[in-house]
């Protein structure tokens, strides 16, 4: 929905939507979320900084970029990807420096958007490093100017890859080694996932490029036979890690384990900030309402 207010007013309202007042109980918490959604619906984008904005999907994941004019009205939108951001900001004369304020807002709201943050608990290599993009890098964990399998994807894919490579060359982009590592999914970042009406899924089948979560070892093994790779029991790995930590810290207590054998971390309430508790609650709600799907 387009607006005609000033960019400053848009930024102010966006920040208010991203940081609702502290609720006193579950009912107030639900009301706060509803108010935030209503307010966001009246903005050019869910989060706005200068002439750039970003909208989230129902899972709280960046869905699309929004490009604004000097008055804060929407000009166009694109996919949330580095190439699209570079192409549209160049064509519309928008400074990439506006990404700094956007990143600050997303960080404050606990929204994952950087490489290995976009899909939390999955080890996904998707995401955009805004600082790297501003510094003339590709802004991603992988090189989006190359694709070894492009020939099998058809003429359209070949043309788009050529256009991406031409854009990177025209902007003299450099693949900075500290960001663009081309290492794919990081299996050490896998975490137990929850599905609506099911027990936590802590068996992960991973074949080097595709990961999928299952509630039983039998299901995971069936997937392994189909797709290759191996199966990891995250509950067992978490338990081993906890034992190792306790061996180094004899004075610490062991973490409780639920009926499914999933180790649950315990933290003193005095050591956890309100923002951390709120984000943990939001993450838990998202996981239960929106079961994850296999990723690349």
The per-residue pLDDT for range 23-60, each reduced to its tens digit, is 444 455 545 544 444 444 446 889 999 999 999 998 88
Query: Where is pLDDT greater, at 201 or 274?
Result: 201
Q: Whole-number mean pLDDT of the chain?
A: 75
Q: How high is the pLDDT of residue 173?
A: 97
Among 181, 235, 232, 239, which residue's Cα sits nearest to residue 211? 232
Query: Which of 212-216, 218-222, 236-240 is predicted with the least confidence, judged by mean pLDDT?
Result: 236-240
- pLDDT score of 281 more than 80: no
Q: How high is the pLDDT of residue 40?
A: 44
CA dist list (Å): 129 to 52, 141, 178, 212, 276: 15, 8, 11, 25, 22
Quick: pLDDT tens for 58-103.
888 999 999 999 999 999 999 999 999 999 999 999 999 999 999 9
Taking the C-alpha atoms of residue 49 and residue 14, their distance in angstroms, rounded to an integer, is 9
Query: The pTM is what?
Result: 0.62
Average pLDDT over residues 1-22: 36
Backbone φ/ψ region at 62: left (φ over 0), alpha (ψ -120 to 50), beta: beta
Q: How high is the pLDDT of residue 241?
A: 60
pLDDT over 70 percentage in the chain = 64
How much helix, strand and coil, in percent to the nearest 5, is found in the chain?
40, 15, 45
Among 144, 253, 123, which residue's Cα sits nearest to residue 192? 123
């Amino acid at each position: 929905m387009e607006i005609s207010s000033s960019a400053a007013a848009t930024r102010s309202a966006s920040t208010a939507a991203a940081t609702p007042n502290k609720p006193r109980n579950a009912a107030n918490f639900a009301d706060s979320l509803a108010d935030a959604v209503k307010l966001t619906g009246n903005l050019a984008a869910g989060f706005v900084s200068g002439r750039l904005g970003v909208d989230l999907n129902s899972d709280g994941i960046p869905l699309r970029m929004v490009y604004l004019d000097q008055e804060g009205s929407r000009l166009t939108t694109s996919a949330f990807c580095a190439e699209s951001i570079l192409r549209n900001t160049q064509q519309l004369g928008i400074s990439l420096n506006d990404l700094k304020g956007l990143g600050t807002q997303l960080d404050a709201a606990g929204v994952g958007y950087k490489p290995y943050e976009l899909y939390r608990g999955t080890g996904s290599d998707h995401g955009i490093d805004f600082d790297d993009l501003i510094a003339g890098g590709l802004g991603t964990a992988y090189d989006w100017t190359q694709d070894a399998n492009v020939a099998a994807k058809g003429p359209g894919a070949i043309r788009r890859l050529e256009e991406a490579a031409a854009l990177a060359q025209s902007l003299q982009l450099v693949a900075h080694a500290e960001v663009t590592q081309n290492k794919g999914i990081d299996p050490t970042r896998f975490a137990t996932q929850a599905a609506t009406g099911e027990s936590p899924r802590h068996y992960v089948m991973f074949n080097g490029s595709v990961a999928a979560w299952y509630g039983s070892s039998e299901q995971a093994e069936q997937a392994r036979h189909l797709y290759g790779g191996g199966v990891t029991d995250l509950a067992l790995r978490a338990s081993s890690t906890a034992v190792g930590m306790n061996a180094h810290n004899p004075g610490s207590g062991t973490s409780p384990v639920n009926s499914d054998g999933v180790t649950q971390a315990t933290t003193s309430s005095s050591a956890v900030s309100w923002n951390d508790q709120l984000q943990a609650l939001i993450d838990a709600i998202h996981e239960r309402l929106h079961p994850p799907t296999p990723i690349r």
